[in-house]
């Protein structure tokens, strides 16, 4: 399906809504539709999931990239929000998959790769957590990542005990030469 110029101009705005906090829930285009409990229904679900997941993951990876290349508190908050949105997406699609399709229909899928993909969608990971716990999880994860992101050489390395780790590293390198 070709995007019109109107669609292209709205896409960046749609992607920014959750980041800017202008909506409390996922954009409607990120939510699963209605599907019948048939092989065709599963295949339509998987196709829609794949298309939508591309958008959601692009949004999440972009927020992560922005934070990792510009370590600010603002970008950190945007990254946490993007992770929350990605997990809300996983929860919405995983719950829809679990509530719509029966094992009998899934077992009759002609392509085993489709069943494998479906099985991965229903594993929710952090999306299983209540929203407040999910927020805390993402904040802790962000803090863990940011402690190693600044690229401070040898700050906790036992061979370099002084506070001037750069000098310790230089002395170590010159002694080796």
* DSSP string for residues in 91-137: HHHHHHHHHH--HHHHHT-S-HHHHHHHHHHT--GGGGS-HHHHHHH
- Between CA 173 and CA 148 the distance in angstroms is 22
Q: What pLDDT sits at residue 45?
A: 98
Which tens digits make up the pLDDT trace of 60-73? 999 999 988 998 99
Highest mean pLDDT among 19-23, 58-62, 76-80, 153-157: 58-62
- Between CA 21 and CA 82 the distance in angstroms is 11
Which tens digits make up the pLDDT trace of 16-57? 444 444 345 899 999 999 999 999 999 999 999 999 999 999
In percent, the amount of the chain with pLDDT more than 70 equals 68
- Scanning the chain, the segments in alpha helix (DSSP H) are 5-20, 39-69, 73-100, 103-107, 112-121, 131-148, 165-176
Q: Is residue 152 pLDDT above 80, yes or no? A: no
Q: Is residue 10 pLDDT above 50, yes or no? A: no
- Between CA 89 and CA 75 the distance in angstroms is 21
């Amino acid at each position: 399906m070709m995007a019109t110029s109107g669609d292209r101009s709205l896409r960046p705005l749609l992607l920014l809504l959750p980041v800017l906090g202008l909506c409390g829930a996922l954009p409607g285009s990120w939510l699963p539709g209605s599907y019948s409990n048939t092989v065709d229904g599963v295949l339509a679900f998987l196709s829609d999931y794949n298309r939508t997941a591309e958008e959601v993951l692009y949004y999440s990876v972009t927020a992560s990239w922005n934070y990792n290349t510009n370590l600010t508190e603002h970008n950190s908050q945007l990254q946490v929000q993007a992770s929350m949105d990605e997990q809300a997406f996983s929860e919405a699609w995983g719950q829809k998959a679990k509530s719509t399709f029966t094992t009998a229909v899934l077992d009759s899928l002609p392509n085993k790769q489709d069943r494998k993909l479906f099985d991965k969608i229903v594993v929710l990971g952090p999306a299983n957590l209540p929203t407040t716990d999910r927020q805390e999880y993402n904040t802790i994860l962000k803090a863990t990542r940011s402690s190693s992101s600044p690229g401070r050489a040898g700050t906790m390395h036992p061979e370099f005990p002084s506070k001037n780790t750069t000098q310790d590293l230089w002395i170590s390198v010159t002694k080796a030469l």
